Amino acid sequence: MITIAMNLNDVLDITVYNPPLVPDDFEVPEVLETERFRLRPLTINDAVKDFEAVMESEEHLRTVNEPGDDWPSGLTLEQNLIDLGWHQKEFQLRTSFAFTVVDLDESSVLGCMYIYPTRKPGYDAEITMWVRQSQVDEGLDEHLIETVTSWIEDSWPLENPGYPGRSISFKEWQALLPQ
């Protein structure tokens, strides 16, 4: 018989296994606004509008996601709600940060942006984003990447974030072995 002794607090505290991405004294910026969009934390309250944006953009998302990633294939509204709840909890724990991109009156989700920890050598975060298919030809993708890159550089304590599929190809990103 094998006995495993574990501290119950460690089991319940995900930060033991996924430490915060930013220092405790860092005040996470929660809103970024331009003349075209507002970026704010993604929450379960965004589930329906987010799901609509994802489903409208399913084919486009396959072209901007990491090769081999078939998300959002098979996504349901219920699973989207679960995913958004998970993102919201990670934001509260400061282990990763998911933001929704909404139009200024918040009537529509235009995309999302994610800041994840990484163990890739030379990088301290992985930042990905997507915009709704209907916004690609409007130039929102370029506006979002330029705005987010400046915001991260000016307002976040990240030394060298990686932007897979943007400033580094997915092939190069995947070839980096975790430390």
pLDDT exceeds 90 at position 11:
no
pLDDT exceeds 70 at position 101:
yes
Residue 81 lies in a domain: yes
pLDDT exceeds 50 at position 4:
no
Helix, strand, or coil (residue 177): coil
Residue 156 lies in a domain: yes
**80-106 burial by CB neighbour count: b if 16+ within 10 A, else e?**
bbebbeebbebbeebbbbbbbbbeeee
Residue 23 lies in a domain: no
Residue 19 lies in a domain: no
What is the percentage of the chain residues whose pLDDT exceeds 90?
78
Residue 9 lies in a domain: no
pLDDT exceeds 70 at position 10:
no
pTM, rounded to two decimals: 0.89
Q: Render pLDDT for 14-57 as a digit per residue (tens, 0 to 9).
A: 444 678 999 999 999 999 999 999 999 999 999 999 999 999 99
Residue 124 lies in a domain: yes
Residue 24 lies in a domain: no
Q: Structurally, how many domains does the chain consist of?
A: 1
Q: Which domain holds residue 157?
A: 32-175
Q: Render pLDDT for 59-79 as a digit per residue (tens, 0 to 9).
A: 889 888 888 888 898 999 999
Q: What pLDDT is stored for residue 17 in this prediction?
A: 60
Q: What pLDDT is stored for residue 3 in this prediction?
A: 45
- If you average pLDDT over residues 125-137, what whole number do you get? 95
Q: What pLDDT is stored for residue 168 in this prediction?
A: 94
Cα angle value 113/118/73 (rounded, 5°)? 50
Residue 27 lies in a domain: no
CA distance 161 to 114: 12
CATH of the domain at 152: 3.40.630.30
